[in-house]
Amino acid sequence: MSLLKEEQVPQNKITAVGVSAVGMACAISILIKDLAVDILTYVVWKLSGFPKNRVIGSGCNLDSAQFQYLMGERLGVHPLSFHGWVLREHGDSSLPVWSGVNIAGIFLKNLHPKLGIDGDKEHWKEVHKQVADSAYEVIKLKGYISWATGLSVGDLAESIMKNLRRVHSISTVIKDLYGIKDDIFLSVPCVLGQNSISDIVKVTLTSKEEAHLKKNADTMWAIQKELQF
């Protein structure tokens, strides 16, 4: 679900309760999970005083896992053998990096140039639509999505607690990446371990993919700059 649909009027009033208690919490990192995860991660970062690498939004971790599973299923390979990322925002506004999807270094775009774009007769774009719509389908059938959400957050917590240094698509500050000049939290692949985010993996994007990311960042900043703490 996205809070950035053009027809929506954003709310810009933030009420903070008990922020002075953060210093008493025995935590080295803060992990945020919410439908509006990117905005809230920014707010928590501002209020907590924590270093930016230690305030983490669950972001597109679940989206990327679903994308890898569905693509692997369609291609007939195990999801761990399919390499592809979903960036930007969790849900409707997520951005699959079609230019980078590959199996064992063989890029699918080289085999099928129309992969993931309109006019593709094989309809690969539907895979990402399934990812974006999955939450609505689960809610319609079960009434809640807590299991998938919990497993995704547990996956991130495990990487931190066990210092696994796995790469996850999570929400972090992407200022100075892809031409973005503001303190925007969006999902990009990050190395996650005992020091929280130790490195950001700058995925190579096409000019069109980068433009989509930049546009979303501009929209996000238009909301963030109006926030009143």
How do residues 7-57 score in pLDDT, each as one tens digit? 444 454 444 444 444 443 445 678 776 667 899 999 999 999 999 999 999
How do residues 101-126 score in pLDDT, each as one tens digit? 999 999 999 999 999 998 899 999 99
Mean pLDDT of 146-156: 88
CA-to-CA distance for 14 and 12, rounded, in angstroms?
6
Mean pLDDT of 153-171: 96
| Local confidence band at 68 (pLDDT 50, 70, 90 cut-offs) | very high
Q: Judge whether 83 counts as a catalytic residue.
A: no
State the first-to-last Cα distance of the chain, in angstroms, to the nearest integer: 24
Catalytic residue from among 90, 123, 128, 168:
90
CA-to-CA distance for 38 and 114, rounded, in angstroms?
31
Output the six-digit token pair for 134: 């999955």
User: DSSP letter string over 126-165?
Assistant: HHHHHHHHHHHHHHHHHS--HHHHHHHHHHHHHHHHTT--
pTM of the model: 0.84
How do residues 183-229 score in pLDDT, each as one tens digit? 999 999 999 999 999 999 999 999 999 999 999 999 999 989 888 77
Output the six-digit token pair for 98: 């079609």
> What is the Cα Rg of the chain in Å?
18
**Domains contained in the chain, CATH given:** 57-224 (3.90.110.10)
**3-state class (DSSP) for residue 62:** helix
